[in-house]
A and B are shown apart, each in its own frame.
Chain A
Amino acid sequence: MPDWYAFCIVQQSYLTCKETKYTEEINLRKQMSTVGDRWIRSACKMCLHGCGIKVHVQNGVVVKIEGDETNPDNMGKLCPKGNSGIMRLYDPHRVKTPLKRRNPKKGKGVDPQWQEISWEEALTIVVTKLNSIRESDPRKLLCAFGDFQRIYFWGWPTVFGSPHFFTTLGTYCGAAYHPVNGMLDGSFAAVNDYDYCRYWLQIGSGDGFSSHLHLSGSAKRMADARMRGMKVVVVDPRLSVAAAKADEWIPIRPGTDRAFVLGMMHVLLHELGIFDREFLEKQTNAPYLVGADGYFVRKGENGKPLVWDAGRKEARAYDDPEVKEVGLEGRLRLNGTECQPAFQALKDLVLEYTPEKMAEITTVPAETIRRIAQELGTAASIGSTIVIEGKEYPLRPAAVNYYRGAQSHRDGLLDNLTFKLVNLLLGNIDVPGGHLGVPLDHRGFFIQPGPDGMINPMPHQLHPPMPWKYPPDSAHLAEFYPIGFDPGQLCAETLLDPKKFGLDFIPEALLIYHSNPLWNMPGTEKIREILKRLDFIVAIDVLINESTEWADIVLPDHSYLESYMLNCLEAPAVTGHCLRQPVIEPLYNTRDAVDILTELAERIGFLDNWNDLLNFVLGLTERPEYMLSPDHKYRVEEILDRFAKATYGDDHGLEWFKEHGHMVRLRTAEETYQPYGKLRIPLYFEHIKKVGDDLRGKMAQVGVPWDTSNYLPLPIWKPSPIHLSSKEFDLYAITFKEAIHNFAETVTVPWLTEVAWRDPLQRGIIINAATARTKGIRDGDRIVVESSEGRLHGTARLTQGIHPEVIAVPNAVTRWAEHPVIAGDDAHFNQLLPASLEYTDNATGAFENCAKVRVFRTPTSGGPG
């Protein structure tokens, strides 16, 4: 199975894609394209996931967007964002032609005094500046790349020579999550099994209800599962949509979900004795003996890890067929060294995490922790099996599902390990009913045999780890995060004091590509200060946002209904690409963003490397006849045509996709359940310890103090700085989104904003009614929320549906860029978050998504409004 950069080994049998399955769908599609008004199949881009859509065009005008019922991903369903895509296309505030700033003054609310200019003039200005930077030091260009659907084109900065990630798109939610999925089973994301799960414990996530993976299809799958009787329990500080629809809502103190689950693990292991022994013995490294140094005890130097053969009373290699009875528990001395099975180490570790102790940390009563552990453990039905597609699998229909709210914290690595391990104990990883890995794209799980009978850990799937180097080149210090994602938020700290971090360059310019660093990064004031210091900013986007309004030049992209892309991104149940294609001619003087990047590459002088990079990341090297020639400039359609043919075969180029829409199909059982076969997955993450020890040594060599305390093979509880902050800040602040919005960028869509604002809780700052009373705050009062980092203003909305220690700021309140739909409150949550090493997970680069705050009525508040 492929490495991340080896699209190459996608199997031909898979690529040819079982055309017979599609006969009926194809006939239906052909019929649709020839009858009456035009209905065109395409892919949505109102969030990143690209649901199948069909677009009704009358006389060249888009009049309706619906879900594509032939696409098994979303099965004809479409969320509010997708339905309202028409308003993005016809937004009168779109950038219609290249713009040049006339006002040299920049800042919040400053009119840029845009001047419309020609493409030639705009490109000449941009190329002149970027050429000059590239010749002096390419690291002087910061890049803020977004647009997940064009993720294969994110390599432009590296070809230019810029190593920076000046944004937190992705880091905000997945910095710890994705690497841990990759290290566990070679997946990119994960979700419980909609088809067979019967007890779904949802922690800090909107899967199936309001957010995360492919919402439209997932909501349908969740609804079907509920109809067949699946129980849902939601752990969340806020009465979210998921919590409101669940069988039970358990409010919890923010950032303590790990403690809740550690308490459950204590109950499972020390009170109930519930764990899947067979799974742990055969499919994990739970029996491997761990020495006092934290590493596996091996047979000779660099030999195989040993396990304890309880039958023969001796240690043997883990794969010795003569082992009679694998020991999971107990302690022993081997060659004078204390050691124990990894499972025993975990069991010992959770001994102290009693429900009573965890209750103090989480505020969840001890009896609730015990009851949920009992329910989950019982529902897992350890020992049961099921036959699917002619093959017998273990059936474990109970699992913990989680996402941003549960693990985007200062110790995100430890959070993720904890949630994986509770599932692992129940034997439910990648089996029917359990917690399933979700691949990044059509390549499936990233499976390679690793050392010691294990699956090879794959923390990096978007790019290889940046090699350690001191002084570092990257402003986000990626060189110091060998298993982490790109901690873009650290730019806020490093760029204001580069010498402190060994950076020997001063950035001069910024390229913003479908991103909004001023909005999506924490430490807003610091980001603003960095922007002030830059000589030149160029932006490629569809609309002006808080960051692009600082630009000197704006290069307008087509909207998604005017452009091409092949989409396949972290789909829970399906695989295969869906084509995004123009449904009308571009309305304005815009260009496809990929074509813009290619044009810049040619004019700056690295077209050959740009084409080579695309050859590599698109897997065209597997079919040399489709490789891009180094010296030829290709349009996006040509690139995608080659990508499609290289991936799906000679007969499945862009024209095929234009006619048929997609190659999306349900994943088979073999692709879904334990696709790594007999390779073991880790209960004990020795790899993380090794990486941490190596990093510690390297940093010590250069005399740089660097915290590596989170590089642990097993998770522990320790409080985040938010749990230790001064009593002056007495409440926790969290943020949330519902299905109506994609981050905050869709708040420019009038339909969505109208719907969102009909819900008072989407428009205000949510505070527990009893807590508010103690502060003299009434519903409708204007209030101030203040952290050590910044403050925001808003309207108090009182409810019992939130933990008493918490206030929640929706992402649907407002934005501040000059757009009539979004001008309003200054309620920007990220202003509250510090962007610093202290609030960053030293292992993965995840940052703390909660803030400690104090809340009070504005002095001028005139009472309920």
Chain B
Amino acid sequence: MAAVRITALGGVRRCLGWSVRNWEFAGGSVEKLLCSVPTSEGGTLFDLLVEGDQVKPGYTVLWNGRRLGTVLEMQTEVKGEETLVAIDIVRAMTGG
């Protein structure tokens, strides 16, 4: 088992029903990890964040602080002790 700290912010938090969890995970890729996290409406975190082979516009997903943009980048093997942050409210943050 691998434990990953998942932080859900904004709309992602509302869909999951919680903000922070140490998620126990049987093992596999980040994609599999996301598929293992259910939303309160019966889907998965993967369905919520991904469309086709890309992270949906408007969503930001950080794996150990690095942005994930594609499903290909989600093939990294989970080792445990990693962090995942998902948020949907920084899309239009402006500033010159």
Contacts and interface: CB of A to CB of B under 8 A. Distances in A.
A157 B10 CA distance: 14
A612 B10 contact: yes
B7 interface: yes
A627 B13 CA distance: 13
B60 interface: yes
A478 B94 contact: yes
Contact of B94 (A154, A612, A622, A630): A154
Contact of B90 (A158, A170, A478): A158
A105 interface: no
A159 B95 contact: no
Contacts of B60: 5, 464
B96 A448 contact: no
A841 interface: no
A645 B10 CA distance: 23
A621 interface: yes
Interface stretch (B25-33, B37-45, B63-71): B63-71
B20 A157 contact: no
B79 to A, nearest CB: 16
Interface of B is mostly: loop
Contacts of A622: 83
Interface in B56-80: 57-58, 60, 62, 64-67
B1 interface: no
Contacts of B85: 8, 616, 621
Contact of B96 (A6, A158, A175, A624): A175
Contact of A463 (B62, B66, B90): B90
A464 B90 contact: yes
Contact of A155 (B19, B57, B93): B93
Given A8-B83, A630-B13, A463 B93 contact: yes
Contacts of B96: 165, 167-172, 174-175, 462, 485-486, 488
B62 to A, nearest CB: 6
A466 B83 contact: no
Given A165-B94, A621-B7, A624-B5, A448 B13 contact: no
Interface string A142-166: 0101000001001101110011110
Q: Chain A at the B interface: mostly helix, strand, loop or mixed?
A: loop
B63 to A, nearest CB: 10
Interface in A457-509: 462-464, 466-467, 469, 473-474, 476, 478, 485-486, 488
Interface in A530-587: none
A608 B13 CA distance: 10
Contacts of B95: 145, 151, 154, 165, 170, 462-463, 486
A167 B96 CA distance: 8
A836 interface: no
B83 A163 contact: no
Contacts of B91: 158, 163, 464, 466-467
A515 to B, nearest CB: 10
Question: Number of contact residues on B: which range applies?
Answer: 20 to 34
A608 B10 CA distance: 7
Nearest to A164: B94
A469 B92 CA distance: 12
Contacts of A478: 92, 94
A612 B9 contact: yes
A609 B93 contact: no
B94 A8 contact: no
B73 to A, nearest CB: 12
A351 interface: no
B35 interface: no
A289 interface: no
B62 A486 contact: no
A325 B40 CA distance: 60
Contact of A630 (B19, B66, B90): B19
A488 B64 CA distance: 33
Interface-central residue, A2, A151, A169, A615, by most chain B CB under 10 Å = A615
B87 interface: yes
Nearest to B66: A3
A155 B95 CA distance: 8
A9 interface: yes
Contacts of A143: 94
A597 to B, nearest CB: 14
B10 A8 contact: no
A8 to B, nearest CB: 5
B17 to A, nearest CB: 12
B87 A612 contact: yes
Interface string A113-145: 000000000000000000000000000000101
A616 B9 contact: yes
Interface of B: 5, 7, 9-10, 13, 19-20, 57-58, 60, 62, 64-67, 83, 85, 87, 89-96
10 contacts: A6-B65, A9-B64, A151-B95, A163-B91, A165-B96, A463-B93, A608-B10, A612-B89, A613-B93, A624-B5
Q: Which 9 pairs across A and B sit closest by C-beta, in order of nearness? A: A170-B96, A6-B65, A163-B92, A165-B94, A612-B9, A467-B57, A463-B93, A171-B96, A9-B65
